[in-house]
Each structure stands twice: as C-alpha cells, then as structure tokens.
Structure 1
Amino acid sequence: MPADALPPAISGKTRLLGFLGDPVIHARSPQNFNPRLAASGHDAALVPLHVPSDRFEAAIPGLLALANLDGLVVTMPYKERLIPWLDSISERARDVGAVNAARRLPDGRWIGDIFDGVGLVGAAAGIGFVPQGKSVGLIGAGGAGAAIAFALVEAGIASLSVVDRDEARAVALCGRIAAKGGIMPEAGSLSLRGLDLLVHATPVGMAESDGTAIDIADLESGTVVIDIVTKPTTPLLLAAARRGCRTAGGGAMVQAQTAAIAAFLGYPLR
C-alpha cells in the first residue's frame, strides 16, 4: 500500500489485535504492523491498549474475553505478568520466562510465544550472517538478551559470552542455557578479539549523550555487530562502521520480528 494511500475502513467485521503495555504512547508497533496488515489483505488492525500496571490483574480477564480480539503484542512491563493468564506457552518462552505475543485459538484458549530472538536471527540473516558454528558476545542479559541468547544457541552457535551490569543476572542466564545442554556459556567477561558476532541488548544508545555499553577498543573489522536499540544509528553502530564491520540496527530486528509475530497471530504478511 503506498505511504499516502488511505487505510482501509474499520468496520464491525474488522478483527482486533492489541499492543499491550504501560506506557504505550511511544509505541511504534501499530505503525509497523498496520500498513503491512493492510497491504497483505487482512481486515485487522493493531491498536494500543494502555493498561496501567496497578490495574493489570483487574483488566486482563475482560480483555482476553473480547470476542473480536485475536491476539496481543506484549511489551513491558507485561512480558512476564501475562504468562499466568495464558493456557500455554512455547518452550522458548518457558526458557526465557517471558512472552511478547499471545494468540487466541479457535477453541478460545490463549497461547504465548516470544520473538525477540527470532527477530535478531532474522536481522543477522539480512546482512548475510549465519550463526551456526560462530562465536558470539552478548551485552545484556535481561528479557530481550535472554531471548536472543536462547535463539542463537538454537541456531547452532559454537560459543557464547555474556556480560551485564548485573553480573548475577548474566551468570543466571548462562546457567539456564547450560542446563539445556549444547554449549557452556561464559558470564562476566567478554573478549572482542576473534569474535564473529557482537550483540548489544541494553538501552544504552537511546539517549543522545550515551556512549557504548562496553569498551570496544579491541573490536575487529571481521566482527558483525547488531545493536537492538531502535534508532537509525547508535554510538556502537557508528564505531563499528568506522572499523569496517557489517552492522544491523534495531529496525532490522523489528521488521523480522513483526513478520514472525504476525504469522503467529494468524495474519501472515506478504
């Protein structure tokens, strides 16, 4: 659909998808989803649903009971809090302990999954990087970092080092990954020398005054760098580009994640 084309009319037949969070005023998911839903021929719309945190438990039963609501895209602070209200979640969502999408099945049951890692792997593929057999460094062991770590392990990476300003969180994530089998990640230190892929999964870089989350003096030109911060560029991406690294930003991850979530919700994009 051309950028200046009028969106399809909302009618009583239009199916709803919700973007659930607190706050939602800065959300870009409706702008990402709705033009692509329309271009794919779906009579559906993603609408922001601002549920204040202190009213979540009161609001969620009624929300899930809406007959024309087919699914939810979930952001903070509800990626963990929604799980008890769902009938089942995927194995990767159990690994991470969070969901960022939920779908109503035809029988009325609600199921959840998480796609942060899928988006990261998709962004990597977009710049020609295949994770299998590669060494990876991950900055950030929060919800997004955990989802990315498990997805990269599933994609067959050979090694993983994780750092986080909360070292205990990095240690805990590495322990959960090791318990699944396959590789034994390292927590608390990260050498950039010889690294195939560096992933940044913290909010550092959102503010104009931000630098980089770690010292990147040893970053090599052969290292692929992906920063999940959703800005056109960040200090990390600028520094990596100056060194000749292949890079991808949060926008590429969002696009890959959007397609995966839409398919999960039952509205595949063209």
Structure 2
Amino acid sequence: MDIQFILNELYEAGVLESDMKNLKPLTGGTSSEVVVVMDGTRPRYVIKQNDPAIVKAEAEFLYTYAQIEKLSRLVYVDPLHRYLVYTFKPGVAGQYCEGNKGELLLSLATEVIAQYKSLGEERDYGYSDHPFVEWRDFLLHRTKESEKIIQDVLPLEDHRFVHTLVAGTPQRNLKYLLHGDFGVHNFVFAENGTLTGIIDPDPVVGEPLYDLIYAFCSSPDELIVETILPAVEKLGPEMTGEYVLNREVLQGLYFRIATCIRHHPEDLEQYTKAWNYWLNRVQ
C-alpha cells in the first residue's frame, strides 16, 4: 500500500495528529514494510505493513500482552489487517553485548514470559496459518526443516538422536501465546546495554520454555547450563510442567544451528562446541 494512503486513513481515524507527517523508514531483517512516524524530532509510532495473516497474529500478541512494559503498545489495526500501528521503542535493536546473558534471561523470564497467558483447549499449537494438534508435531516439523539445512554439519547419529528426543516430547497440555522469534536480534537495548524493548513477534502457540530457550540459543556466548537454569527456575510448574532441561535445550540448539548456517555461519564453531556440551549432558 502507498504510505500516504495509510497516513490519510490514520488522520481520518484520529490515530495520528495532522502535523505528524515526517516519516523515517526502518531497515533490518524483517520482511515487513516498516516506517517510523516522527513527532517533531522524536520517533513516536511504527507503521508496519505485511501479509494480513501476519498482521493479525502480531496484533493479537500485542493486544493480549498490553500489560507487558517491554512490548510496544498496540495503537491501531487496519480492519483488513493490511497494517498495524504501535508505539516506538527507543534504543537500538540487535545490539546485544556479550557478558550478561544470565541477567538478560532472568529479566525476560520475570518481566515477559511469566506474564504470558494460558489459552483454551480450542486453540491449536504452532502458527495460526500452520496449526498442529500436538506440540511435538510442531517441534517435529521444525526438526525436519532444520535437518535439511544442517545436513552433514552434524553426524547422522545426532540427527537421529534429536528426532528421537522430539518424538518423545510428553504432551503437557501447556498452551500459551508465545512471541515465537524471541532472540537477541529482536531485543532493543539502551546505550548502557539495558533491555528497553522487544519487537517483531512471530506468534506461536506453545510451551513457554520455547521462548526462553530461543533467547538463550540466539547468541553463541555463554551456552552453558549455569546461564539459563536460574531463569528457568523463575517460571512456575504451571508454565513448565515436568521438563528435562538438557533435552529441551538440545532441541532449541538444533533449530538454532540451522539458523546459524543460513544467516550467521561465522558463529558455527561456537554453536557446534555448545552442541557437544549439551549432547554430553543428555547422553
């Protein structure tokens, strides 16, 4: 859509004030068309265009978790789900500084994930446009997709072992609306390294540990049990059920290795080292 047409709609709806005409495009890894609406020299709102199914899912996530301070506040959703408007989070996205991952995970667990809401039985697992009856089915789908990318980076017996782990995932009936792309590339930081916001959800219905482990694995530093365990322990049993952390992390690390191969091959050596560390903890 033409951005001027969107602006006119927002002026008519009273979402934007008539003097908010300056725009600043945002670039990055997102597939969306994103611009920032300036209030003078201050970034005020973000207008994001995307596929209607994606816009609808992101709007639901922001609406559901309006009470979470680290998330942007949803301001407006186009009735046809062509775009949405939300508040701008100050800071720099993806500028994660290594060395304090444990503190970051604790903040994410207590300030974000612990506030996630359980969903009703009628909701399926996975993405809204690609649902699964059971959580393990979603994980198996991700495992198969990851295996195509990883190939001989890991030995065949490791692929088989992960398939066995995922296939044995217990059905814990934990259905929560998750961020789904909960990695350092979507975390916004102040100059001093403080987490100020979380952007670009790709919502998934699933188990809360998925988001925490996603965050843990999203950078190659400090991938040891002492880094994540304190954060996991902040989540109550209603969010975790009976879990085996080593198995859960190994699954998440498998998915991350596939992402690393595609987008961050320079990190592969660190991830394979972490892979062997967690594999030894499971076997």
The TM-score normalised by the length of structure 2 is 0.27
Pick 1 or 2: higher relative contact order, CA cutoff 8 A, min separation 6: 2
TM-score normalised over the length of structure 1: 0.28
